[in-house]
Every structure is written in structure tokens, then in C-alpha cells.
Amino acid sequence: MGLIALADCNNFYVSCERVFRPKLETTPLIVLSNQDGCVVSRSNEAKELGIKMGEPYFLIREFCERHKVVVFSSNFSLYRNFSKRVMDILSMHALEMEIYSIDEAFLEYPEDLDGKDLLKESFLLCEKVKRWTGIPISLGIAETKTLAKIAAGFAKKVGVFDLSGKELQNDILKQIPIGEVWGIGRRIAKTLMSMGIRTAFQFKEMDPSRVRAKLGVVGERIVWELRGLRCSELEESQPKKSIRVSRSFGEIIQKKEVLEEVLSTFISKGAERLRSEKNLATEITVFIQEGFEITCLSEKIAVPTSDTTYLLQIGKHILAKIFEQGKRYKKCGVVFSQLVQENEEIKDLFSPKNPKRKLLMETIDELNSRFGKNSLFFGAVGMRKKWKELLHTEMGFDHLPLVKTV
């Protein structure tokens, strides 16, 4: 049986905000929940100041001002976007992966490491995620998910923590209060404490059948997991829920119109894939990159769609919001996410089920596959056409600005 690693993004929301503001690397920083209610993420500096998780902001506002704590409102579409990118990289390095939360995933390491060093490979993985996304992660490694959870707590400070092996486990488990074991809620912890069980080690040494009698099969499973015997396997990874089209340019692009053209090509390609897989997008994210700085913005689509015209319209709208004059862009891309199946979606004007629109899209795809890619394409792709003009003709089947290449 191979080992399990729990990959956990450090101070995730705070880390996402820092990617765009490297100057805040050592500043105390917190992120607040919706409506700026309470603290949901803290930088290490903010933790050191004694700011607690979940603390209502109005209680600590003055304290934050006094200590120059930088405060952010949460931006969940940004965090989801970062999460996806981190998970994509992690998934390349695991036999199997279970995404456990927005910032945590269990990875199944191969049993045979092919002569490679477990710790070294794990540190390299952390480094890679940090370099590619800007997000720092830590890895807790052990035989079971329950033990990997404990290992991850120790990994926070050192990057990677390998808890596999009985001797170390016994030492560590003696330090873990029973209430901190994964799956042990407050009520169960109370019951166990009343029986004199205070640490994870004591719990692990209990007779499993006695535990089952007291806490049921769920409790017994935790005992076995603490002993290094796997009782819960990784849950099957989800089918692909997003489509991403992006590329680095051969040269630097500074003109918005040129960027628009490239982006339009990506959107058209992505939309084609949506249709070929009978999917509709519910969210579209556009990103542009200058040096290591990536700017991205997501927008919800009111009615799920795979309609190129509609997606181009939203994509361009987003680009206009994030584009900055004078920047030297080297990469851009689009991600269609929260995909739903075509038959799940609701009837609407923009719906691809609208027979005319569906026929149009199918015709484009068919002609392109028959006469080569981009035999037919949309006006926005590669034509300096005013977007407004396109909007005017948007609804008319006969007047859609299809352009034939020469």
C-alpha cells in the first residue's frame, strides 16, 4: 500500500491576495467573510498578533488599525480560480486524487517511488506549485487519511512532514489532543475524555470492539486509521468540470485590439469543445499575464451556454475590465467552468437549443472540420470589427458577421 499525502494551501485566501501584491509578503493580513463579517484567513503575522479564526471584524477593527493589519474582503471567484490551478498541478503528480476542500487535496503516492526520495520529491512538488501559481502549500504524508491530516498540521511549519513509520507516529500521537483528531467532534471528544482518553495515542490503543460499542463503526474506523490501516479510500475524482484554452505569445503584446483577437480565437476554440462534449458553461474566466503577474476575472453567465457569439461578447467585456494600457502581455487565456450538460439547461433566447442558433453553431463546426480549422470564423476573431456592430447583428441569424478567410 502506498502512502497518502494531504496537500494543504497555506493561509489560502491570504496567499491568493498576496500573489498580486508581493509587497505585502511580510505584512499582517486578513481576509474577511461575505459582507466583511468575520475573519476567514490570516497570514502568519496576523496569527502572531493573536487574531483568531472566525473573529467578528467589528470587534477587532481598531486593533487592526493600530497594528496596521491589511484587511481584504473575500473574492471567492479569484480563490476558486487559484484552487483549480493548484489542483491541476497536484493531479499531475498523483495516482489518484481527492479534492477535499477549496485548498486541500489527498494524493495517492505511488507505492514504488522508482528509487526517488520521498521527501525530496515532495519538496519539489511544493516548489513547483509555488512557482507556477504563487500559492505556498505544505504536504503531510502518512499511511492513512486520518494520519495524513495530523501530519499536515506539522507540515505547516516545515513544508513537508513524513509521519509514516510506527515509532514517530507513537511519539506524535501522544502530543495530539483527542479533540483534534479528524472525525472526532466535540461531543465524542467529551465522551472519550470522561473515559480518561485524552490523546490520539490513548484512543489508538483502545480495544476496537469497545470503541465500536461506545461510538459505533465510525469511531472504530478512526482507531484503525490511527493504527495505519486504511478504512477510507480516496473518493473518485470528479469528471472534468472546466475547459481551458490559453497560450503564451511568441512576442509581447501591448495593443488591446491584438489581445482581443487572440482571446477571441481561444474563446472560439473553447466553445467548439464545449459543443463537441455537449456541455454548457456557467462561468467564464479571462486571464492575462505580464511577467509573473496574472490578472484574471470571472463572470457568471446568467443562462448556461456554448454559443460562441455570446461567449465572445462576455469575454471581451471582461478583457476590457482587466486590460491595462502600457503593460507588456505575454500570455492570455480563457476558462469555461461550472459546466453543465446540454440537456440540463433551461430554455432561453440565447439557448443553443434555439433551433436556428443550434443549426448555426453546428454548421460552423461542420464546415471547419470539413475545410480545415477556421475556414469560417466569427468577426471578432482576426477582424478589427467594432464590437457594437457585432452586437447589433447578434440576434439576426442571417446577418451574423461570418467572415471567410482568404
Binding site for Mg ion (CB under 5 A): 8-9, 12, 103
Residue number, 135 or 339, with CB nearest to Mg ion:
135
DSSP string covering 277-335, please? TTEEEEEEEEEEEETTEEEEEEEEEEEEE--HHHHHHHHHHHHHHH--TT--EEEEEEE
Using an 8 Å Cβ cutoff, are 123 and 117 in contact?
A: no
C-alpha cell recorded at residue 216: 459505533
Residue number, 8 or 260, with CB nearest to Mg ion:
8
CA atoms of 320 and 86, how far apart (whole Å): 26
Least distance between Mg ion and beta carbon 104 (Å) = 6
Residues 6+ apart with CB under 8 A from 114: none
Least distance between Mg ion and beta carbon 40 (Å) = 11
Angstrom distances, CA of residue 52 to CA of 31, 38, 73, 138: 12, 10, 17, 21
Residue number, 14 or 332, with CB nearest to Mg ion:
14
Angle, helices 208-226/145-158, rounded to nearest 10 degrees: 40
Strand ranges inside 159-306, DSSP E: 160-162, 242-253, 279-290, 293-305
Least distance between Mg ion and beta carbon 200 (Å) = 21
CA atoms of 319 and 36, how far apart (whole Å): 28
Residue number, 19 or 400, with CB nearest to Mg ion:
19
CA atoms of 103 and 107, how far apart (whole Å): 13
Block residue for cell numbers 486520518: 146
Residue 80: name the closest of 293, 338, 393, 362 by CA: 338
Report the relative pairing of strands 160-162 and 242-253 from DSSP bridges. unpaired
Backbone angles phi, psi at 403, to 5 degrees: -125, 135
Residue number, 103 or 143, with CB nearest to Mg ion:
103
Residue number, 90 or 334, with CB nearest to Mg ion:
90
Least distance between Mg ion and beta carbon 47 (Å) = 13
Least distance between Mg ion and beta carbon 86 (Å) = 11
Residue number, 103 or 225, with CB nearest to Mg ion:
103
CA atoms of 406 and 392, how far apart (whole Å): 25
Residue number, 182 or 350, with CB nearest to Mg ion:
182
Least distance between Mg ion and beta carbon 171 (Å) = 25
Report the relative pairing of strands 29-32 and 70-73 from DSSP bridges. parallel
Using an 8 Å Cβ cutoff, are 18 and 24 in contact?
A: yes
Least distance between Mg ion and beta carbon 235 (Å) = 19
Residue number, 9 or 274, with CB nearest to Mg ion:
9
Q: Could you tell me which residues are beta bridge partners of residue 42? A: 30
Least distance between Mg ion and beta carbon 19 (Å) = 15
Residue number, 53 or 359, with CB nearest to Mg ion:
53
Least distance between Mg ion and beta carbon 124 (Å) = 20
Least distance between Mg ion and beta carbon 186 (Å) = 21
